[in-house]
Amino acid sequence: MGDQIAGAMINYEGVQDPRGNQGSMGRFTFAPPAKPGERWTVKKAEFVPQWYDTDTGRTVNLNASPGDGDERLREIRDRIRTVVLGRGAEGDGLLMGR
């Protein structure tokens, strides 16, 4: 999260770009091998959308309380979901976690 917590991100035009403080974290649940010599498998793959609030110095889990909060945070969460799932990962089982 280095760049995200460094402060406000400035784009090439010198304007603050809020996307620099937005991102997601991966979370995986693994299942042990069924038999000796077999490999571990991914049982569940999730991403958690997050935003670093530079005013408060806190990371915000954007999917912690769906329906709560302000519309701006829901828009950020939805934009992150669109980007993360934009290349078909949902079809491969990637879910948005809480």
> Does residue 31 register a pLDDT over 70?
yes
Which two structure tokens, joined as six digits, stand for 45? Answer: 């793959």
The sign of the torsion formed by the CA atoms of 87, 88, 90, 92 equals negative
Among 76, 68, 82, smallest CA distance to 52 is for 76
Count structural domains, the chain.
1
Percent of the chain with pLDDT over 90: 46
Between 2-6, 42-46, 75-79, the lowest mean confidence (pLDDT) is in 2-6
Between 18-22, 30-34, 40-44, 57-61, the lowest mean confidence (pLDDT) is in 18-22
Give the domain range for residue 69. Answer: 2-96
Position 7 confidence tier, pLDDT thresholds 50, 70, 90: low
